[in-house]
Structure formats: structure tokens, C-alpha cells
Amino acid sequence: MQVTSEQPLDDHVLERRFTLGGIPGILWTPASASASAPVPLILLGHPPLGLRTMYPRLVARALHSAAEGFATATIELPGSGDRPRWPAVDQARADLRRAIEGGDAVSDETVDALVLPLVDKAVPEWQNALDALQSLPDIGGPFGYSGGVISIGVRLAAVEPRIEAACLYAGSFVPRSVFEEARRVTVPLHVLLQWDDEGNDRQAALDLFDAFGSEEKSLHANTGGHTGVPQFAADAAVQFFGRHLR
């Protein structure tokens, strides 16, 4: 892990850009974090639109989390941003767009081709990032995961024992096999669903919530459309991590 730049965002947060095996990433730590007072870390997931596009929303979540004493970090997804294009996933995305525009049902095959390769490749990368971040003196634990492609969050919560709590955003296509993975998730979960998001399959989101094996799971459904998650819902997500990562 190579830190490529380091800058204070305000008096309270330090932003470090890094690369890890060629994958760009960003780490935000509260100024209070130090080797003698290491802080918990939340991995910030995001949709595959590239870190540059997602930066404003990510940094808002990072500042909000830092105010509650949490470090946050994110890495670029495979095929996105400055990483090499990934023709197979580009093709699946084009197929998906064509199906939606044509008013056709989106087939299970299209969803699998779009999502599963991304999950298979991204999850080990997030685990590697966790290895590297965990070794920093000002990062302690425990660790959480928040947001992004929900199927990545499900897999990571199911296979990575260091993830002790996860906040997942319903809203992307979910392969059938991911419902089976969801049954193996046992960590506390906080699931956000934008109820009136027309591009979202609400029933699939409810079915996925039902499938999770976690003893503690909460679904917070709100109005406001796809990108209109209310501020109080973001606050509730941070409160969730406050209960579980301290």
C-alpha cells in the first residue's frame, strides 16, 4: 500500500489517497486517530461509477463518520474509474440497458453476468485492502462495511469474519445465488431501501432482507427517490455503527 497524497480536509479529518496492487483507494481518518488511540474502520462501498464521480457522496459519508469517531476507506471497483475497462461487464451492462429500454424483463442470466463477476473479483480486493489498512498504526478495529453494490456487501459480510456489522443499500440487481449467500450472513445488519425508487425492485429488496440470517437486522425504508436518502436515514446508519463498532 503506497500513500500517494495526504491532505487535511478540515481541522478534523485527514484524507490519504493510496494505491494497493494498482488499485486506487482513499482513506479518511479523524484527526484524533493515532497509534495510541486507533479507531474503528468502515469500508465504504459505492456503485461502479468510478471514485472520481462518487467522490462528493463518499467524502460526505466519510466526514459524517469521522465526526462519530470512525475511519472510512474505499477502493476503486474492477472495470471502473482509472482501472482498465472490463469488456465482459461492459457487455452485460449494455445488455441490461437494452433490456430495460426495450421494456423487456431483465433475465437472471443478464443479472448474473453483470453482478457475479464483479462480486467474485471485488470481494478479495476489499479483503486485501482491509489487510493493508488494518496494519496502519491509527486503524484499530472493529470493522464494518457500508453501502455500494449490495451483492458485494452480502458476500463480504458472509465470508469475511473481520466485518462485524454492515449497512447495505437496496437498489441494485441481485442474482438468485446471492439470496442463498444472505442466509449465511449473521452479523448485525442495517438495510436502507428507498421505497419510491422506480428503478428498484422493491419486492426483491424485501425478499433479500427476509433471507438474511442475522439475529439483529433492521430495514429502514424511506421516501425521496433513488438518490434522495434523507439526512436522518444517513444519521441512523452512523448510529447503527456507533452501537456495533465501539
Per CB under 8 A, residues contacting a second copy are 195, 206, 209-210, 214-223, 230, 232-233, 236, 239-240, 243
| Residue 236 CB, nearest approach to a second copy (Å) | 6
29 vs 65, beta carbon nearer a second copy = 65
97 vs 243, beta carbon nearer a second copy = 243
115 vs 170, beta carbon nearer a second copy = 170
Report phi then psi at 38, rounded to 5: -70, 155
Can you count the helices (H) and strands (E) in the chain?
7, 9
| Residue 215 CB, nearest approach to a second copy (Å) | 6
| Residue 195 CB, nearest approach to a second copy (Å) | 7
CA gap 75, 51 in Å, rounded: 8
CA gap 24, 1 in Å, rounded: 10
Amino acid in the structure at residue 13? V
6 vs 210, beta carbon nearer a second copy = 210
Cα dist from 241 to 2, 21, 122, 156, 166, whole Å: 28, 29, 23, 17, 8
52 vs 226, beta carbon nearer a second copy = 226
Among all chains, which residue has been given the C-alpha cell 484524507? Answer: 15
Report phi then psi at 202, rounded to 5: -60, -40
CA gap 52, 81 in Å, rounded: 7
CA gap 161, 145 in Å, rounded: 12
> Bridge partners of 37?
34
Helix, strand, or coil (residue 196): coil
| Residue 140 CB, nearest approach to a second copy (Å) | 24
| Residue 184 CB, nearest approach to a second copy (Å) | 17
| Residue 220 CB, nearest approach to a second copy (Å) | 6
11 vs 215, beta carbon nearer a second copy = 215
